Amino acid sequence: MVASLPQGFLSLNGTMIFGLPITGFYVLGLALALWFILEHLPVGRYLYTIGANPKAAALNGIPVQRYTMGAFVASGALTAVAGVLLASKLRIGQASVGLEYLLPALVGAFLGSTTIKPGRVNVWGTVVGVAILAVGIAGIQQFGGSFWVEPMFNGVTLLIAIGIAGYAQRRRGSATRNFKKTGS
């Protein structure tokens, strides 16, 4: 049975505030909340530590399994919210709709680890990375690129971002080793 969707559900994604879509305000609010949690609360430092070296985190008394499970639960909850917003935008509820957003999400995250704090995934870097990706894809669409150009752009950008992130991580590691050797 097909029924019409309630107006409140459609306005989750269709409302404009100050001439901007409400989803932009959702992203800004989420970015501020995640930035505060990850940069200013102990849970954020614990998550960064677990991501860098889980064994060292466990040796320092951080319950690695609990925080890892919490990170996956939070990720699932945010994915569910994104799915509801996508269903509100597309006015359809289908499980296979969001698969084409997976590669751009990975590209945005890896590109984010190369911008603000090179070698370390961070909230504002990811926001900048997604903005760079969106501008690139919009440019491709403006020039009328073929259907294969956008996924190729995402893939090439992902390879470049991974290369830059790996280089920054190696450089950061060598700087740490040099610091320890000199004792300064």
User: Are 7 and 85 found together in one domain?
Assistant: yes
HEC profile of 113-150: CCCCCCCCCCHHHHHHHHHHHHHHHHHHHHCCCCCCHH
Q: Which residues pair with 16 in a beta bridge?
A: 21
User: Are 144 and 62 found together in one domain?
Assistant: no
Cα 163 to Cα 18: distance, rounded to the nearest angstrom: 39
Evaluate if pTM is beyond 0.75.
Answer: no
Judged by DSSP in three states, 81 sits in: helix
User: Are 40 and 69 found together in one domain?
Assistant: yes
Q: Which amino acid is at 12?
A: L
Cβ atoms within 10 A of the Cβ of 113, count?
A: 23
Cα 64 to Cα 147: distance, rounded to the nearest angstrom: 43
E strand or H helix that includes residue 89: helix 64-90
Report pLDDT digits (tens) over 77-121: 998 998 888 888 888 777 788 778 888 888 888 887 776 776 677
User: Are 5 and 87 found together in one domain?
Assistant: yes
Cα dihedral sign for 172, 175, 177, 183? negative
Q: Could you give the C-alpha distances from 163 to 104, 111, 112, in angstroms and in order?
A: 17, 10, 13
User: Are 87 and 53 found together in one domain?
Assistant: yes
Question: How does pLDDT run along the chain (184 residues), one tens digit per residue?
Answer: 567 778 888 888 878 888 888 888 999 999 999 999 988 999 999 998 998 889 999 999 999 999 999 999 999 999 899 888 888 888 877 778 877 888 888 888 888 777 677 667 788 888 888 888 888 888 888 888 788 888 888 888 888 888 877 787 777 776 666 656 665 5
User: Are 67 and 132 found together in one domain?
Assistant: no
User: Are 112 and 181 found together in one domain?
Assistant: yes
User: Are 106 and 182 found together in one domain?
Assistant: yes
> How many domains does the chain contain in total?
2
Q: Could you give the C-alpha distances from 92 to 5, 6, 86, 160, 174, in angstroms and in order?
A: 9, 12, 8, 35, 51
**Which structural domain, as residue segments, surrounds residue 12?**
1-94
Among the candidates 79, 94, 109, a domain finishes at: 94
Closest CA to 22 of 30, 31, 11: 11
Any idea which residue has 């491709």 for tokens?
140
